[in-house]
């Protein structure tokens, strides 16, 4: 009898501890449109074959969507007479990309489902997951929670104030992530998104020409990155975050250990002082499996940020416009 009570107690405790979101579910489209997820995956796959980088751009779109008033597809809205959207905010302008692939996904999925039932916000979450899995293999596949609805408005000002710039210090990064309900472990794990893709010269120029003694940068790395990023001009020249920009691996973290972080904000995660963040960078660098596990958990957490559910928002017919 006593052991039965303990069992009930344990079951109750475990149930309370499992992080669930009352509204989102991995099975949201199972009945209403079972083809939705496979169709999205195949469009993402084709897009990556067409342009190797595009999956990295899709992952970043989901991040930039979620960090501005939650994962609500707001980043996809073009400017209207009623509002100036997020596309022209400083962190996004001439920087975020992949909008036409999102249009392509939306068209294909609405056609397969025979009506617009899949939200643009969910498309971003699924496309980010599929991209990471395609670049990284089965270890990086996880069940995305679904059922987000789309915002009817967007805000340039909110994008400017909520997205972290590459000039941020460690403590600024921590408080920015904290304001989104994410902790230091999430910050370090999610920054691993920079195992994919490229950055423009203008985003890391200050770092590679900064001769300050306190600037943590390998001199050879600084010299070689100056070749793609001159002191003036070439603002849009691209440099990969690591040597394998189309593979999810832990080279990003290993680079940080060797003072070869591309952005100032990247190197802020590792300064060799034995902090929690330093230890996580070391851990992820040597353990791809721990990185995969933490990255997936933090992606799900990020994807749960303030979704619109139930009757809030709408399911857009065109991701660029409210209905």
- Report the residue from 162, 250, 265, 304 that binds ligand HEM according to the rule CB under 6 A: 265
According to DSSP, the residues that pair with 199 across neighbouring strands are 239
The interface mask with ligand NAG, positions 23-62, x = CB under 6 A, is: ----------------------------------------
Least distance (Å) from ligand NAG to the CB of residue 215?
4
Number of residues that bind ligand HEM (CB under 6 A): 25
Question: Binding site for substrate, residues?
Answer: 164
Cα(292)–Cα(122) distance, rounded to whole angstroms? 22
Binding test (CB under 6 A) with ligand NAG, winner from 27, 52, 80, 243? 80
Cβ(168)–Cβ(229) under 8 Å? no
- Which of 3, 15, 212, 232 is close enough to bind ligand NAG by CB under 6 A? 212
Q: Which residue lies nearer to ligand NAG by CB, 212 or 232?
A: 212
Work out which of 5, 31, 81, 227 binds ligand NAG, going by CB under 6 A.
81
Q: Find the binding residues for ligand HEM in span 43-62 (CB under 6 A).
A: 53, 56-57, 59-60
Q: Does 26 bind ligand HEM (CB under 6 A)?
A: no
Contacts with ligand NAG by CB under 6 A lie at: 80-82, 206, 210, 212, 214-215, 322
């Amino acid at each position: 009898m006593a052991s039965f009570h303990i069992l009930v107690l344990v079951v109750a405790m475990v149930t309370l501890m499992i992080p669930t979101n009352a509204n989102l579910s991995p099975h949201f489209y199972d009945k209403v449109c079972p083809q939705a997820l496979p169709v999205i995956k195949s469009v993402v796959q084709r897009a990556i074959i067409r342009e190797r980088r595009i999956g990295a751009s899709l992952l970043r779109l989901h991040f930039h969507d979620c960090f501005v008033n939650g994962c609500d597809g707001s980043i996809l809205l073009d400017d209207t007479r009623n509002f100036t959207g997020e596309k022209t905010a400083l962190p996004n302008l001439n920087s975020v990309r992949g909008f036409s692939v999102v249009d392509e996904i939306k068209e294909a999925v609405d056609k397969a489902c025979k009506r617009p039932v899949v939200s643009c916000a969910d498309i971003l979450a699924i496309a980010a997951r599929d991209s990471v899995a395609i670049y990284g293999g089965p270890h990086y596949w996880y069940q995305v929670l679904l059922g987000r609805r789309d915002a009817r408005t967007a805000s340039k000002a909110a994008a400017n104030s909520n997205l972290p710039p590459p000039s941020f210090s460690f403590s600024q990064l921590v408080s920015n992530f904290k304001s989104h309900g994410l902790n230091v472990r999430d910050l370090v794990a999610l920054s691993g998104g920079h195992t994919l893709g490229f950055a423009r010269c203008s985003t890391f120029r200050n770092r590679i020409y900064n001769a300050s003694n306190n600037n943590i940068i390998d001199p050879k790395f600084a010299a070689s990155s100056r070749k793609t990023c001159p002191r003036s001009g070439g603002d849009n020249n691209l440099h990969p975050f690591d040597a394998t920009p189309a593979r999810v691996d832990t080279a990003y973290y290993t680079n940080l250990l060797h003072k070869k972080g591309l952005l100032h904000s990247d190197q802020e995660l590792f300064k060799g002082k034995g902090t929690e963040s330093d230890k996580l960078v070391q851990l992820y660098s040597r353990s791809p499996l721990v990185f995969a596990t933490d990255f997936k958990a933090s992606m799900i957490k990020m994807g749960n940020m303030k979704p619109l559910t139930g009757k809030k928002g709408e399911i857009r017919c065109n991701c660029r416009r409210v209905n």
